[in-house]
Amino acid sequence: MRFVLLLLLLLAACDPAPDAAEAAPDPLEAQAAFFQNMHEMCGQTFGGRTILAEETDTTFEPARLYFIVEECTEDELRIPFTVGDDDSRTWILRMGEDGLTFLHEHLRPDGTEHETSGFGGHASDEGSSTFQHFPDFWATDETPAEEHRIWRLRIDREHDLFVYYLDRGGHPAYRLVFHLGPPSPGL
């Protein structure tokens, strides 16, 4: 059983492309549907773990990971993301007239915003109701290719998974997988 679960987690983490059948003809409709799917998780907590990280990066290891879809309005979701005892991170999804935006908020221990806070991206036209791409909006033509970032979020109801992907320079940097089933004990 453990082998099957591990295999499913690895498959979900390795293939960030949505199924062709998922793709919606209108990118804004797909982004709104994705936002709605996330909104339906409001008030829920999901535990997870790192299944891929750069070899020298221990940011998320061996810590216990979880996120809470906590503050939900009609156009914004604030999703605290906790790594071990560190609760300084929040993911923010905003749905506006120009589409979906994914942001990372980082706070210092005193509650003030960290200077690296606010990074993220606007959803591309490639997404669906269960999968969205967020190319880095800080990247410019002068940004070295190896520093270009793309975040991808996937809701995989078939396997009860939520996957957070980060690629840097076209290469996988992180894959975090969260279980969307009943809450894990102790969360």
Q: What is the mean pLDDT for each group of 10 consecutive residues in the chain (187 residues)?
A: 43 52 73 98 94 78 87 97 91 97 89 81 96 91 87 96 94 93 59
pLDDT of 9: 46
Which tokens sit at 158?
């078939």
The answer to whether 44 and 183 are in contact (CB under 8 A) is yes
pLDDT of 186: 52
Pairing of strands 86-96, 65-68: unpaired
pLDDT of 25: 67
Which tokens sit at 170?
């076209």
List, as own/partner pairs, every contact residues 60-69 make where C-beta atoms lie below 8 angstroms and the sequence separation is at least 24, other chains included: 60/174, 60/176, 65/176, 65/178, 66/178, 66/184, 66/187, 67/91, 67/178, 68/44, 69/38, 69/39, 69/41, 69/42, 69/43, 69/44
pLDDT of 54: 78
pLDDT of 2: 44
pLDDT of 56: 74
Domain ranges of the chain: 2-14+26-179
Helix, strand, coil percentages for the chain (3-state, nearest 5): 15, 45, 40
* Class level of CATH domain 2-14+26-179: mainly beta
pLDDT of 101: 97
